[in-house]
Every structure is written in structure tokens, then in C-alpha cells.
Amino acid sequence: MPRPFAVIGFSFVFVLGVLFSVPGWAFVFFAVFAVAVFAATVLIKRRPEPVMLWSMLSVLAACAVYAAFMYGEYYPTVRLAGKDMQIEARITDDPQEKNGKYYYPLRLISLNGENKRAKLILSCDDPVNADVGDRLSFCGDVYVRGADNDDLEDYYRSTGVYLKAHTFTEINVTAAKHRNIVYYPALFRRTVRENIMSAMPGDRGGMIIAMLFGDTSFLSDHVKGIFRNVGLSHLFSVSGLHISIWAVAVAELLRRIGFRGKASHWLSIIFALLFMTVTGYSYSCVRAGIMIIIMLIGEILDAPYDPYNSLGAAVLISTLIRPFSASSVSLQLSALSALGIIFVSERMSGFNKTVLSKFKGRVVRPVAAFFIGTVEAAFASVSFTLPVTSAYFGKITLVSPVSNLVMLTVSSAVMTLGGIAGILSLTKFTAFLAVPPVFILKFLSGISLKLINWLDGYRTLFITANGAEFKICLAGIFILIAAYLLILRKTKIRVRTLAAACAVVIAVTAATSQILDSDNTKIIVLDVGNGSAVLVTKGERSLLLGCGGGYGSENKIINALGLYCKNGLDVMIVPDETDTESGASVPVVRNVSVREVIAPELSVNKDIVSAYSDLNMTDCAGITLWKGMNCEYLYDEDNCCAYLNAEGTTALIMFKPVCDTDKLPSEWLTADILICRKRLPENIDIGSFKLVAVSSDIADVGGERTKNIAVTAGTGDIVINSAGNSVFNISRK
């Protein structure tokens, strides 16, 4: 069977990913189905197809791994959660600081005096005077990470750390008598981070550290948001890009100092293992490292190298190490990106040789080869990951291919020079040698930040994946592909011409969508759990009503503001001091340009006052951001509401589930749209509204879901596109 590991690996990972997204009993059905198909194939056909047999065996293996993992590891681990527990654990890595809290990776030793083994994250308000390998003893609460949010729970499960602990009591520290092997890679990372931040403080050093180690804690939320907006956040995930750059550099160094053949391959394998250790065995790095090691072992054994086989083996082994990753978007994006690069490079090799033959010289030819390879990789990666990015993130962005093309070239140099500078600065004897690479890094990092800021200005050039324009775009691409396969294939028109035509269709569709959409008002009910966050925007003007929600709501709000608000936020209304209305307000005003903040005088959040000195404290306000758009806000002992009139489309926003509607203006109760949280108000005729948007799950709004009710939980943001005069439509993000 050709490419056995490709068949086995991808079949196994696909089925395992499906099993994690369906009810738990479904693995029995998959197993029975696989056995039936396997038996039928063997009994009916004299010479059964090996592909079918191995595929069914892969399905059976996936079912076995699912059952063993869920019932042998995951369920027993999450059952450890509880209140007021005596915890003893060991620190396994340096902490990360985020929004004033410190997060320590721990390995559990005992729980309430019983020996237990599990990984968990300790969240505390103050740093602990302890180092990697030290033992901590404290009393605290243990939670299942992301238990109240399906998307977060899936993400945390894919990391392999399912539990989170929090304590308000004193933490007792017992210093380790002997440092184990985990300590030294952590010490190396810490020393390099400190040296880089000392030489390049701020976002310049933070960007280099993020690219080297995947640690974004030294980057401001603003810069992280920009990288996310332009499709470059994958640069902060230590993966195939990072290890490939270093592997090429090491291979070239070994060649120049005289190591050739199998000796250089063995040294490269040792380097790959060391690299994985130094980066903390991040899952994406382990996956890429396995692929490179398989390739090198094949060359040592003089076996023919097949990149598809290597990729299949890499995803198979890495998924066996961490099964939950089979359902993670990270694995899907990484595997599809690698698959795209392999596929495109094979088909473009002849064209590349023709182009490179026109370049002469020892300097010009390698530079041209590097540039062509970068363009190829960026195009292949973006193209093959398009289905996943559009499904998960709800949009196709046009700035992503351009930003990847520009930044992949720069990031290669930044990662190489950053690593060299960090290593040279480890000792006093070699520190002076780090001066030249640091000088170049300052220039490159500054250029990089300016580039992504410039690209961020075009972040709104995207196609909503569930909108009409997306369907038109898909129809145009399918027509082009069908025309090529049925009519034009026998002509001189090549595949790259077809690809260029498809890219033009996407660009024209996105540009047309933006032009047509520029006159519309967007009312976006953000999916922040049980909380209020309603963003109203048109062109460059924007208003945020409410700034609260559940765990992670601050990131969702900041991301939405980065996506929809080009020039920051004009006005933010903080309706109440409770977390459901104001829990994310402090991180937002610290990371986003907010020109005016309005909060009630009767219930003002002291943290907001300290974070935003020019706070407008009032219990009622009228706001006009553009012609035809008016917003009235009211806060008293009985009501906490706002009324929006966007060029004839009206909306009543109720920040609290219980309001005295008898005291509201009658005009407010006849609005086109009702926006509320947690549950539906009892004393309002829900049927009188064209749309009722609820920040809650359907189970909390009571009864059957009716046509005019939309909920955020589990389905995403509710985007209301209004053309005015009560004419609007909704889409999901």
C-alpha cells in the first residue's frame, strides 16, 4: 500500500476528532461499523483493498484510544475538582502574568492527603516566591477549566491541562533539594527572556520572545490583537516554521564545519530533541519535531522520503501523545498548512527551476530562492487552511495572505537573530558578540511592528463566512473550477492561472461587500456568556453598551473592538458595577483607545475611576454619534436600560433581567429589537419584537425557541446589519 502512514495517520486523527465532538456512546457505533466493514471487505473480496482494511483498523484504533483516554484519564481527572481542598503540587515552569493575576503550571502530588497525579494551573493575585521544581502547599478550590464554555473547554482539553486551582490563603513553599531536568530548560528560557527584554524593552522584545518561545505575556494586548487581526498569531505558536528555520541553520552550520552524511543527521536529530525541550514541549513544536526526525531517520536508513507519509506519522504520534488535540483547530490548521506546502511545492518545482535559472550569482540566486519559497509557503498555507479558518472564525480575510507574505520573511530573520543573541548573552565572555545581532533586531522588530500596524488598517477587508457574499464567492470559485475541468483543461491555461482567477473573485467579492456594507449600521451582541456587551458601529464611529460577561469576556470584547473599530471606541457605557455589566471594562480601557466612558453615579466601579480619570458619571445620558443615530441611557433603582435609534431601526437594551417596564417610555417598548441577558423579561410581550437577542443559552430563556429569538451561547456573536427604517438582517460570527 503506497503511503501507509498517510492513510493510517489521517484516518485515525479524523475519526478521533469526530468522536470528541459527538456523544460519548458514539464510539461503540463507530467500532461496530468498522468491524462490519472490515469483515465484509475480507469475506466478499478475494483480494481486499489494503487501503480499506487499514482505514477500518485505524477507526478501531481511534475508538480504543478514545475509550482508554476518556475513562482512564480525563473523567478521573475532572472528578478531582472540588471546594476547600488541601493541595500539594510541584511547579513545572515559570508563571505567566495576565491582567494582574499570576498563573503557575503545577503537577499535583496529593489532594486532601491522597496521592494524585494530574496537571493543573494555579491562579493567584500575587506572585509566589518560588522557583521551578519547588513544592507548594495550600488550601484552595479546584475547577474544571472552561467548564461553563464549550469552546474554552475544548481548547483547554487540547492543552492536556484540565484543572485550575485558585486560593486566597497563604501558600507554603518548600524549596527543592535537588533540581530535576525540568528546571534547566526553564532557567534557559527565563535567562534569554530577561536578556532580550533588557536589551529591547516593550513590544519589540516581547515580539521576539513570543516568536522564540510562544510566550506572549511580554506583549501588550493591543499588539497581540493586531497580530490576530491580520492573521499572524500563528507566529507565536512554536511550530514547524520555527523548528524548520533552526534545523536549516544548524544543518548549514554542520556542513560548513565539516560534518556531512549520517553524522550531521544524528546531530540534527539531537538538536531537534533539545529544541523541543527548550521550548517546553509545546504540542505544535513536538508535532513538527517528530516530522523532521522521521525525515532524518529515513535519510540515515537510505529510505526514500515521502513528505505525506512523514506528515501522517507525525499527526498520528502526536495525537497518541495528546488525544484531545485531534479536535483542536491548532492541529487542523497546522496539518492543512503543512499539507498545502507539500502539495504546492511538488507541483511548482519545475516552474521554480525555470524562474531561478534566470538568476545568477552566489547572493542573488539564494535570495531569489528564499523569496519564491516564502511566497509559495504563504500562498499554500493560506489556501489550504481557508475552509477551517472560515468555519471557525466566521470570515475570510484578505489581509492575511499579504501579511503572511511580508512577515514570514522578516520573522525568519527575527527568530534566527533572536536565538543567536539570546544564546550569546548567556555568559559574560560572549555577551559582546550579541551587540551586532541586537542592533539588527531592534531595526527589524521596529519595522515589523510598523508593518503590522499598517496592515491592521485593512483588517476590515473580509468576507463573512455565513453571509450572502460568501455564497456568491463560493459559487464563482466553483464555476471557475468546473469550467477549467470541463472545458479549459485541454487548453494552455494552467492551474496557477485558475488559482489567480479564484483569488481575484475573492478580492472583488470582499471589496464589493465592504462598499455595499459601509452605509449600514452594525449592532453586534457579543457572545460573552451571562453578561452585556453590545457594540454599535458605522464607518469609523462606535459605541459599546455594557462591558461585562463570563470568563474570557475581556479578550472577546477587545478582539471585537480591534476587528470592527478602526480608530478605537468613541463611547463606552458601563451600566452597573457588577461583573455581568462591567467585569471587562478595566482591561478594555487599558488596551483600547476609548474617548468617553459613561457610568452611573449611583453605582460606579472604583476600578473604572482609577483606570479612566475623565469618567462621566451620570444616571441618564443622550448620545448622538452620527446623523440619525441616537442612544438614550437610563439608570435608577428600578431600571438599567438603553434605547437605540439607528436611522429608524430601534432597539431596547435591558442590562438586568428584572426591570420595571411600567416606568419606561412607551416608545421604548415598541422597539424593533429587544436585547437582554440571562433570561427573557416576564412582563414584556416578546412577540411584539421583530428580533429578541439574548446573551444566554436557549435552556435559560424558557420554552421552545421561536423564530424571533436568537441566543449567543454556543452559536456565537449576533451581528445585526441595519439599513435603517426597521430593515435589518442577522448573521453569525
**CA–CA separation, 292 and 308 (whole Å):** 12
Which of the four pLDDT bands, split at 50, 70 and 90, describes residue 705?
Answer: very low
492-506 tens-digit pLDDT: 556 667 667 777 776
Q: Does 183 fall in a domain?
A: no
Asked if 67 contacts 145 with a C-beta cutoff of 8 angstroms, the reply is no
Domain containing 124 — which CATH number? 2.40.50.140
Most confident of 94-108, 300-314, 385-399: 94-108
Who wins on pLDDT, 121 or 5?
121
> Are 240 and 343 in a shared domain?
yes
Q: Give this prediction's pTM.
A: 0.68
Q: Does 111 fall in a domain?
A: yes
End-to-end distance of the chain based on CA atoms, in angstroms?
Answer: 43
The CA–CA distances, whole Å, from 211 to 279, 292, 319, 425, 517 equal: 11, 20, 24, 18, 36
pLDDT score of 215: 79
Name every residue whose Cβ is closer than 8 Å to that of residue 601 and which is 6 or more positions away in sequence: 617, 618, 619
**CA–CA separation, 305 and 296 (whole Å):** 9
> Are 222 and 249 in a shared domain?
yes
Mean of per-residue pLDDT scores for the chain: 78
> Are 509 and 657 in a shared domain?
no
Domain boundary among 108, 143, 174: 174
Domain span at residue 29 reads 4-77
Residue 103 C-beta-side C-alpha neighbours within 13 Å: 14
pLDDT score of 17: 85
pLDDT score of 609: 58
Dihedral class, residue 101 (left if φ above 0, else alpha if ψ from -120 to 50, else beta): beta
> Are 141 and 274 in a shared domain?
no
> Are 138 and 217 in a shared domain?
no
Measured at the alpha carbon of residue 57, what is the angle toward residues 54 and 62, in degrees to the nearest 5? 125
Q: Provide the number of structural domains found in the chain.
A: 5
**CA–CA separation, 78 and 88 (whole Å):** 17
For residue 164, what are the β-bridge partners?
A: 121, 143
Q: Does 30 fall in a domain?
A: yes
Domain boundary among 174, 201, 218: 174
Residue 210 has pLDDT above 80, yes or no: yes
Q: Does 508 fall in a domain?
A: yes
Domain containing 679 — which CATH number? 3.60.15.10
Asked if 304 contacts 327 with a C-beta cutoff of 8 angstroms, the reply is no
Q: Does 590 fall in a domain?
A: yes
pLDDT score of 703: 46
Asked if 269 contacts 263 with a C-beta cutoff of 8 angstroms, the reply is no
Q: Does 454 fall in a domain?
A: yes
Rounded average pLDDT over 126-138 = 88
The CA–CA distances, whole Å, from 248 to 257, 286, 337, 420 equal: 14, 17, 19, 14
> Are 320 and 440 in a shared domain?
yes
Residue 704 has pLDDT above 50, yes or no: no
> Are 205 and 259 in a shared domain?
yes
> Are 148 and 160 in a shared domain?
yes
Which of the four pLDDT bands, split at 50, 70 and 90, describes residue 251?
Answer: low
> Are 371 and 452 in a shared domain?
yes
Most confident of 70-84, 202-216, 571-585: 70-84
Q: Does 255 fall in a domain?
A: yes
> Are 232 and 371 in a shared domain?
yes
> Are 575 and 665 in a shared domain?
yes
Residues in the chain: 733
Most confident of 101-115, 151-165, 270-284: 101-115
